[in-house]
Structures are given as structure tokens and as C-alpha cells.
Amino acid sequence: MKEVNKEFDAKMQKTIDVVMSDFASVRAGRANAAVLDKITVDYYGAPTPLNQVAAISSPDPRTLMIQPWDSSLLKAIEKAIQTSDLGINPQNDGRVIRLAFPQLTEERRKELTKQVRKYGEGGKVAIRNIRRDAMEKFKAMEKKSEITEDDRKDFEKELQDITEKRCKQIDELTAKKETELMAV
């Protein structure tokens, strides 16, 4: 029966992975190509992730350079960045697009911290939903006489321990990201 809890633990781990990728997309003080992961460009009529149509590099800690493989995409990339919630104005020199990341203001840091907390809370809610689904599954198994009441209670206790461990993990990741954001 351990494999049942392993299945739910794996789902919880996937939730943590999603939260970590959400955190990566929140820009801290330095340039990070992950902030561009959610930006898509209209490439021959199909929305395509930016990192699939261009090379993204970081020549210095505060700048990202985007070099499209097809130079006809420069305008589309520039427009996609402007319409995103990135809050950075791209500079197009005809060959590459440069994104200069300014120092974050105190107000912007606090906004980003709230956003990080929201992502973390969303992850914990998803983990609790996985726990609820598992509890329902255990109760259904008990009803069908596949497991005993004592087995169900043991599984639920084990699942609760896993849930608490995963929620604590999200809290630690959230605190780490907040510290990174608030560091000047």
C-alpha cells in the first residue's frame, strides 16, 4: 500500500516543481533568462515560446540579449516583450534585442514579494487538494473492504506527514525567494 502514498507524494513533488518554476519567472535584481519563459511570439501564425526562436544570453548581470534565429522576428519579439507584464522596455538595434534590468525599487520588491507569497500559497492549496483526493480514495477503498479501518488511519497519518513535509518545503522556498528579492 506504500505505492499509493508514493503516487500522491510524486504529485506533490510535481506541484513543488511548478512553484519553483513560478518563482524563477519572478525577476529579482539580476538578469535571468527564466523571466522570458512565459513569453510567446507569433511565429508563422503559431504562438511559440521565445526561447525556441532565439538565443538568449546574459552579457552582464543586468542585461539580457535576445538574438532571433530569423531576423524577421525582431519586431514580433519586441512587441511580445512590451505586452508582457515584465515591465522592461526592449531596445532593438536591428540585429539583437537588449533588455536592461534596472535596480528594483522598494515598492516593486514588495509587490514581487506578494506575488511570490501568492505562488507559494497556491502551491500549498494544490498539495492540500492532493491530500483530500487521497483521503477520499482511502475511504472508498475502506468502503469496498479493500483495506481495514486501521489501515486507512495509518495511510492517512502517513499522508498527513508527507503533506506537512511538502508544505514546509514550499514555505522554505518562499522565504528563500523573498530574501533574494529584498536583498539590495
Burial letters 149-178, b for 16+ CB under 10 A, else e = eeebeebbebbeebbeebbebbeebbeebb
Over pLDDT 90: what percentage of the chain?
A: 20
- The answer to whether residue 2 scores a pLDDT higher than 90 is no
Percentage above 70 pLDDT, the chain: 95
- At 14, is the pLDDT very low, low, confident or very high (cuts 50, 70, 90)? very high
Residues 68, 53 contacting (CB under 8 angstroms): yes
CATH topology of domain 33-100: Gyrase A; domain 2 (3.30.1360)
Predicted structure pTM score:
0.68
Question: 2-24+105-182 adopts what CATH topology?
Answer: Topoisomerase I; Chain A, domain 4 (1.10.132)
Q: Is the dihedral of CA 131, 132, 133, 135 positive or negative?
A: positive
pLDDT tens by residue, 27-73: 666 677 777 777 888 888 888 888 888 888 888 877 888 888 888 88
User: Could you give the angle at the alpha carbon of 119 between the alpha carbons of 101 and 22, nearest 5°?
Assistant: 50
Q: Where are the domains of the chain?
A: 2-24+105-182, 33-100
H or E stretch covering 135: helix 106-143
- How many whole angstroms separate alpha carbon 34 and alpha carbon 31? 9
User: CA gyration radius for the chain?
Assistant: 22
Mean pLDDT computed over every residue of the chain: 84
